[in-house]
Each structure stands twice: as structure tokens, then as C-alpha cells.
A and B are shown apart, each in its own frame.
Chain A
């Protein structure tokens, strides 16, 4: 369950919707992670590009891993501009017991940062500046050099 939105996420609504979707699924743990845009280096906000075909297959592979351990992952991400103190990312894991969800949320978010085909830009002085210094080359990069 991957949800993409134009602009900032409506965090209370999404968390509530996900809670209600799984309310009768007999999961004992619901562990969400919410990513919020912080004020730093004079930015006005962040902006995101997403390449959906590869994001979808990356997410499906993770969902399969979660299912094998009786868990389910949900993720929401913004496209386009998200301003200071708004949120652009929510990931959540539901599992029968807390340990699986706690481990999965950590592994999932780390791999998301390193592999998900999403590009971040700083919004600064009316410009959209690619955040290269905070970005990670996907595993296997550089084969054409």
C-alpha cells in the first residue's frame, strides 16, 4: 500500500485512515514514522520528483518481505513542493507483535533512503536546488562511466 500525493501530506488523516484500515486485522503493533521538513540552511521548503515504476517494484519487494513475517507496510510520499513544518513522508508497519514492526520500520526507512527513486530539491530564494550532498547513489551506480 503505497500512496503518493501532490504537495504536503495530511498526516492526521493518513494515520487515522491507516489505523482504521487495520483496526480489525488482529495486529498488535502499529509503528509509524513521519518525516517533517525542518528549518535549516535558510530553506523555504523541499520539493520532490518521483519515478513511479521503479518505486512501485521496490515497494512491492518490501511488502513481500513483510508479508513473509506476518506484517504489512504502508507508505505515503509527496510529489512537488512541501514547505517548512509540513510532512512529506510517512512509513508505517503493522505486525502481530512489536519486535517485527520495530525492526522492519528501521530497515525499511534506511533502504528507502538509499534506494527509492525519489529526488529531493531545496527551495531557496525562489530556486529549486538538487540536494546532491544529502543524496545517495543507488547500489550498482556508475556502470556507464
Chain B
């Protein structure tokens, strides 16, 4: 089971999914209308490390986070 968290302003409860990679997660979230704008501009972290490609295998216990545009300061 992989936990998916939505950070900052994304108003969505975290999900627990049986997925093997980020492409499977992309398919699930693309079918969620409220997530469409966030998929365009959010970064992705796996186990708190930012990733730049969907070619990431996921294993049981992994944590994925979506990070929308930031503005500290």
C-alpha cells in the first residue's frame, strides 16, 4: 500500500492505493476532476525526495506527496 498526500492548499484527504509506479498514480488522479489543475503545476516527492520522472517504482509503505506552487517569505 502506497500513501499519497496532498500538501499546502490542495484540499484533499490522503489516499492509500495499491500502485506499483507513478504512472499508475497519474492515471488515477487524471480521472479526478478536482485534481486536474493541480496535476499541471505540482511537483512530486517519493519518501520526501523530489522526483523528476514518472519512471519510479513504488513499493509497499512508500509515501508520495504532491507539492503545489510555493511562495515562502
Interface set of A (CB-CB < 8 Å, partner B): 35, 48-51, 53-54, 57, 77, 88-89, 109, 112-121, 130-132, 134-145
Selected contact of B71 from candidates A51, A53, A131, A142, CB within 8 Å: A131
**Given that A113-B71, A119-B70 are contacting pairs, would A142 and B9 also be in contact in the complex, using a CB cutoff of 8 Å?**
no
With most chain B CB atoms within 10 A of its CB, the pick from A117, A137, A140 is A117
Interface set of B (CB-CB < 8 Å, partner A): 7-9, 22, 25-26, 29-30, 39-45, 48-54, 65-73
30 contacts between A and B (CB under 8 A): A49-B8, A50-B72, A51-B7, A51-B8, A54-B65, A89-B72, A89-B73, A113-B73, A114-B70, A116-B70, A118-B70, A120-B73, A121-B9, A131-B71, A132-B69, A135-B69, A136-B69, A136-B70, A137-B42, A137-B43, A138-B50, A138-B69, A140-B43, A141-B69, A142-B40, A142-B41, A143-B53, A143-B54, A144-B39, A144-B42
The 4 tightest CB contacts between A and B, nearest first, are A118-B72, A119-B8, A135-B69, A138-B43
